[in-house]
Amino acid sequence: MNVTMREVARQAGVSIATVSRVLNGSGPVGDTTRAHIEQVARSLRYVPNRAARSLSTARTHTLGVVLPDLYGAFYSELLFGLDRAARGLHYHLLVAGAHGGDDELASALQAMNGRVDGLVVMSADISAELLEANLPPALPAVLLGGEARGYGALRVDNEGGAAAMTRHLLGLGHRRIAHVAGAAGNRDAAERLAGFQAAMHEAGLPDGPVVTGDFTESGGYAAMRRLLAEALPGGGPPIDAVFAANDAMALGALQALREAGLRVPEDVALGGFDDVPLGQYLTPPLTSVRVPLDVLGRRAVERLHAAADGAADASDGPEILPTTLVIRGSCGAPVASA
């Protein structure tokens, strides 16, 4: 049986109102009385009834997070950043994955209704119409990686980061650079491809070969195998560097290069995007474009918290976060530059 505030008040010899002020932090109570009530509550193993509290305050102290996937280092790091920021502001997270298109995304959004004070949604291609049809108008939402009319947005500088990676490879003397792109129709993939192509054109070079992956290790492996199947019959790869649109595909590409007997970076330089922690422990360590996942999570939670308190509008934005080139051994840069 759950212990109630009434039982805590009876055992402590004080009023229910006094117990409420102590346990909810809602008013002044003397230090001695507070310590006594807290000791009684602990001895009775009192657990706050958050559901009842949310009915009276219209707050759940929970934030919803809807992601396109829950697998992989990128999503793990993003969730870690969101959770750390949420805990700092006394929120819990309710997490859902939406892997199967608009119907599944709509279902995940509907499942959050009435359970959260705000919502973080990662989707590169979400529409305002889908959000409006599945969320109450008063619920603040912040989008990661996409934009929709009337909703806040946080994005990273995909194009600038991809251009910086490509310029770095060009600066090392590489001229035949291939790009392992993300999934067709994905906004992040399109922006990273645009950055790659812009830097190649800036250098007066034609587009390098572009092969499409799907942001997974297996997708990067298969894409690299396709590229090498065209390259190796002529005696050697027509490329001297590969820029993968995320680290997972770079990892798959690295395996395909090794199986083909090619050394990284001596034969083919390699770069990725996202800078997930695993990359620094590969052999060789992976040069990548760092996405500030900790900042992304913190800013999303801060904006929702401000909106829930009425201090700001979560729909302000979009806010573009800068990326950083992280140079390690896989690109062939001198050790002193790493």
Stretch 79-101: mean pLDDT: 89
| pTM of the shown model | 0.77
Mean pLDDT, the chain, as a whole number?
87
Give the amino acid at 282: L
Q: Which CATH architecture has domain 60-156+293-321?
A: 3-Layer(aba) Sandwich (3.40)
For the chain, strand residue ranges (E) read: 62-67, 92-97, 118-122, 141-144, 152-156, 177-181, 210-212, 241-244, 269-271, 288-290, 319-321, 324-326
For the chain, give every residue range classified as CATH 3.40.50.2300. 60-156+293-321, 158-291+325-337
- The domain made up of 158-291+325-337 has a fold known as Rossmann fold (3.40.50)
User: Residue 33 and residue 319: Cα distance in Å, rounded?
Assistant: 47
Q: Which two structure tokens, joined as six digits, stand for 157?
A: 């500088």
Topology, domain 5-48: 434 Repressor (Amino-terminal Domain) (1.10.260)
Chain centroid, CA 294 distance in Å? 8
Q: Which residue has the tokens 């250098």?
A: 203
Q: Is the pLDDT of residue 54 over 60?
A: no
CATH 1.10.260.40 residue ranges in the chain?
Answer: 5-48
Query: Of 97, 24, 123, 114, nearest to 62 (Cα)?
Result: 114
Residue 50: pLDDT over 70? no
What is the Cα–Cα distance from 188 to 293, expressed in whole angstroms? Answer: 15
Q: What is the pLDDT of residues 167-180, one digit of tens each?
A: 999 999 999 999 99
Ranked by mean pLDDT, the top range of 2-6, 19-23, 169-173 is 169-173
Tens digit of pLDDT for each residue in 132-143? Answer: 888 887 888 999
What's the confidence (pLDDT) of residue 5? 85
Tell me, what's the pLDDT at 55? Answer: 42
Give the Cα separation of 253 and 220 in Å (integer).
Answer: 5
Quick check: 24 pLDDT over 90? no
pLDDT tens for each residue of 181-228: 998 888 899 999 999 999 999 999 988 899 999 999 999 999 999 999
Query: What is the DSSP code (8-state) at residue 242?
Result: E
pLDDT attached to residue 237? 62
Indicate whether 76 pLDDT > 80: yes
Do 230 and 256 contact (CB within 8 A), yes or no?
no
Residues facing 142 on adjacent strands: 120, 152
Integer Cα distance of 225 and 260 in angstroms: 9
Contact 219, 252 (CB under 8 A): yes
Look at residue 191 in the predicted model and tell me its pLDDT: 95
Closest among 239, 243, 237 to 261, alpha carbons compared: 237
Three-state SS for 79-113 is HHHHHHHHHHCCCEEEEEECCCCHHHHHHHHHHHC
Across residues 320-331, what is the average pLDDT? 96
Q: H/E element holding 301? A: helix 293-308
pLDDT tens-digit series, residues 267-300: 999 999 999 999 999 999 999 999 998 889 899 9
What average pLDDT score do residues 288-315 get?
82
- Running DSSP on this structure, what letter comes out for residue 211? E
